[in-house]
Amino acid sequence: MTPLRSVNVTRYITPLREGGSLPGLVEADDGFMYVLKFRGAGQGKKALVAELIGCEIARTLGLHVPELVFASLDVAFGRIEGDEEIQDLLKGSVGINLGVHYLSGAVTFDPVVTTVDADLASRIVWLDSLLLNVDRTARNTNLLWWHKEVWVIDHGASLYFHHSWTDWESRKRPFPRIKDHVLLTAASKLQDANAQCRQLLTNELIKDILEQIPDDWLDDHAFDGPAAQRDAYYTFLTHRIADADFFVEEANYARAQRI
């Protein structure tokens, strides 16, 4: 897989107040604009970990995902911002943050207006079942429509167990919130998606994705250092992929209740 590029933030443009984490639109020294996910936001660095893992797995599955970059934020930005809330956020986010390439002109995906084919819907539902993503509902799709394609964004609410690391080693962890997924009714080919996705997500690929997470994002006191925390993510993901038949059956049952 291609390693993430690193850029330096050169200009803070505006906050994006749609989400609780208050991401910001910034410009970097490569000339591109990014939606910056801040390490100092409410969910902290764990949301960045979930975002990186989710985006790179989605990309491996052939889904359209904006490019991610490691975006370094200098201490100077917090000194010149007038809004106290944003000033505190910038000051608390000095260092490596996560930038998501800004898709200029993209609009929020509307399931009433746009029909998604069964193959694509099934892959997205499979992805979100794997990652325990609670945040892809009709109220908040976290999907964009850009250049006549569906783009998958915002995985920060995935892997929610890592905020407490409770019962994370369970091999067959239920995910009842899949019943609320915006694309569940269209996902009629989950078994096909299961076979395809499991073949793509090799243990080596998962390891490569996890190796990209900066060590200073992995500072949970439940573990003896970044390597141990990285190993925990590896164990969870590889076990869940191996037991994917369980969550596919769960999603198919939830779908049957809705159609």
Question: Does residue 85 share a domain with residue 26?
Answer: yes
Question: Does residue 130 share a domain with residue 221?
Answer: yes
Question: Does residue 173 share a domain with residue 94?
Answer: no
Question: Does residue 170 share a domain with residue 56?
Answer: no
Domain count, the chain: 2
Give which of 10, 1, 237 is closest to 127, Cα–Cα. 237
Integer Cα distance of 148 and 58 in angstroms = 18
Give which of 98, 74, 57, 68 is closest to 12, Cα–Cα. 74
Integer Cα distance of 217 and 41 in angstroms = 13
Question: Does residue 125 share a domain with residue 235?
Answer: yes
Question: Does residue 37 share a domain with residue 140?
Answer: no
Question: Does residue 55 share a domain with residue 113?
Answer: no
| Contacts of residue 34, Cβ cutoff 8 Å, sequence gap at least 6 | 7, 25, 26, 27, 28, 69, 71, 99, 100, 101, 102
Q: How far is CA 129 from CA 32, 40, 163, 180, in A?
A: 32, 27, 18, 11
Q: Where among 101, 119, 149 does a domain terminate?
A: 101
126-181 residue pLDDT tens: 999 999 999 999 999 999 999 999 999 999 999 999 999 988 888 788 999 999 99
Question: Does residue 89 share a domain with residue 52?
Answer: yes
Question: What is the CB neighbour count within 10 angstroms for residue 214?
Answer: 18
Tokens of 21: 């984490």
Question: Does residue 206 share a domain with residue 125?
Answer: yes
Question: Does residue 137 share a domain with residue 67?
Answer: no
Question: Does residue 209 share a domain with residue 87?
Answer: no
Q: Where among 101, 129, 156 does a domain terminate?
A: 101
Residues of the chain with pLDDT under 50: none
Give the pLDDT of residue 17. Answer: 66
Q: Where among 61, 81, 101 does a domain terminate?
A: 101
For 32, the domain range is 5-101
Give the pLDDT of residue 251. Answer: 98
| Contacts of residue 191, Cβ cutoff 8 Å, sequence gap at least 6 | 248, 252
Question: Does residue 130 share a domain with residue 226?
Answer: yes
Integer Cα distance of 256 and 80 in angstroms = 54
Give the pLDDT of residue 78. Answer: 65
